């Protein structure tokens, strides 16, 4: 693709223009972004260049192309290739994030979770259950467990908004570093289907995480039930 006057390839200029409109909320999920011919005329490039720009945006999950109808802004998806909070993921897409706290209690009969956190089997744990919403749409049900001895204050004042990661880093001085994850599939039970506003039995991604601090200590165990149509797990394999 020939570069523009400033040395930037023409297809990247088209992508940047579309992304700017999405980030500024001038284009929202479901809105048409323009046909290849319209984009080619607007940016004075060939149809092939416009087609390539849309293909890359589709690959990256920003748009979806519907044969016979056109190209539209895709519903936001979460990519799991970096340890970031849901709030950070939504902010990167120029969208608001919020939480609906379902419960926040201290439990002491979760021996499997305690073991994952390298704690004695009967250790008291803060159990925080939330529905995470992006642009007021439910994305997933999240259950977090943390040591009540270290983070007991969360049970009295669970985060209603904002990032739990940010709270742990700001209030407790933690530096979160990495996570070990187990991923499998499940189906929405009646409660989860109701919370996510999806049909009973719809496929879900089930992800179990143990999140570690920079010191290598397990800090949090997270169970997430994710809408499979709103999440994408990219894996690079080497031979």
Cα–Cα distance measured from residue 206 to residue 159, given in angstroms and rounded to the nearest whole number: 23
Domain of residue 47 covers 10-73
**Looking at the structure, do residues 57 and 172 belong to the same domain, yes or no?**
no
Question: What per-residue confidence (pLDDT) applies to 131?
Answer: 93
**Looking at the structure, do residues 61 and 89 belong to the same domain, yes or no?**
no
Question: What per-residue confidence (pLDDT) applies to 1?
Answer: 47
Helix (H) or strand (E) holding 49, with range, is helix 47-59
Flag whether pLDDT at 69 surpasses 70.
Answer: yes
Tokens standing for 117?
């956190």
- Report if residue 14 sits inside a domain: yes
CATH number at residue 90: 3.40.1410.10
Tokens standing for 94?
């120029």
Flag whether pLDDT at 145 surpasses 60.
Answer: yes
φ, ψ for residue 96, nearest 5 deg? -80, 150
Task: State pLDDT tens for residues 156-199.
Answer: 777 666 678 878 887 778 888 888 889 899 999 999 999 999 99
Total structural domains within the chain: 2
Task: State pLDDT tens for residues 30-44.
Answer: 888 888 888 889 888
CATH number at residue 22: 1.10.10.10
**Looking at the structure, do residues 56 and 94 belong to the same domain, yes or no?**
no
Let me know the angle formed at the C-alpha of 18 by 17 and 21, rounded to the nearest 5 degrees. 90
- Report if residue 124 sits inside a domain: yes
Residues 224/213, Cβ–Cβ less than 8 Å: no
Residues 47/40, Cβ–Cβ less than 8 Å: yes
- The arithmetic mean of pLDDT across residues 211-237, rounded, is 83
Confidence of residue 93 (pLDDT cuts 50, 70, 90): low
Cα–Cα distance measured from residue 99 to residue 41, given in angstroms and rounded to the nearest whole number: 43
Cα–Cα distance measured from residue 17 to residue 137, given in angstroms and rounded to the nearest whole number: 26
- Report if residue 187 sits inside a domain: yes
Which residue in 36, 32, 8 sits closest to 21, CA to CA? Answer: 32
Flag whether pLDDT at 136 surpasses 50.
Answer: yes
Please tell me which of 76-80, 153-157, 199-203, 225-229 the model is most confident about, judged by mean pLDDT. 199-203
**Looking at the structure, do residues 137 and 221 belong to the same domain, yes or no?**
yes
């Amino acid at each position: 693709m020939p570069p523009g006057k400033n040395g930037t390839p023409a297809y990247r200029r088209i992508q940047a223009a579309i992304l700017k409109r999405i980030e500024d909320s001038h284009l929202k999920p479901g809105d048409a972004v323009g046909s290849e011919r319209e984009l080619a005329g607007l940016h004075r490039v060939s149809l092939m260049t416009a087609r390539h720009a849309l293909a890359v945006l589709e690959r990256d999950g920003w748009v979806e192309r519907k044969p016979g109808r056109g190209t539209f802004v895709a519903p936001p998806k979460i990519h799991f290739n970096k340890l970031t909070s849901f709030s950070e993921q939504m902010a990167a897409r120029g969208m608001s994030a919020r939480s609906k706290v379902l419960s926040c209690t201290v439990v002491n009969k979760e021996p499997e979770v305690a073991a994952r956190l390298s704690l004695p089997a009967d250790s008291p744990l803060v159990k925080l259950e939330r529905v995470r919403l992006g642009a007021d749409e439910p994305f997933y049900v999240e259950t977090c467990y943390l040591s009540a001895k270290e983070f007991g204050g969360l049970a009295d004042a669970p985060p209603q908004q904002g990032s739990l990661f940010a709270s742990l880093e700001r209030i407790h001085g933690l530096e979160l570093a990495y996570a070990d994850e187990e991923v499998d599939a499940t189906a929405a039970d009646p409660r989860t289907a109701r919370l996510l506003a999806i049909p009973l039995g719809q496929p879900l991604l089930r992800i179990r995480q143990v999140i570690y601090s920079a010191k290598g200590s397990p800090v949090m165990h997270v169970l997430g039930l994710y809408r499979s149509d709103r999440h994408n797990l990219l894996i690079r394999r080497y031979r």
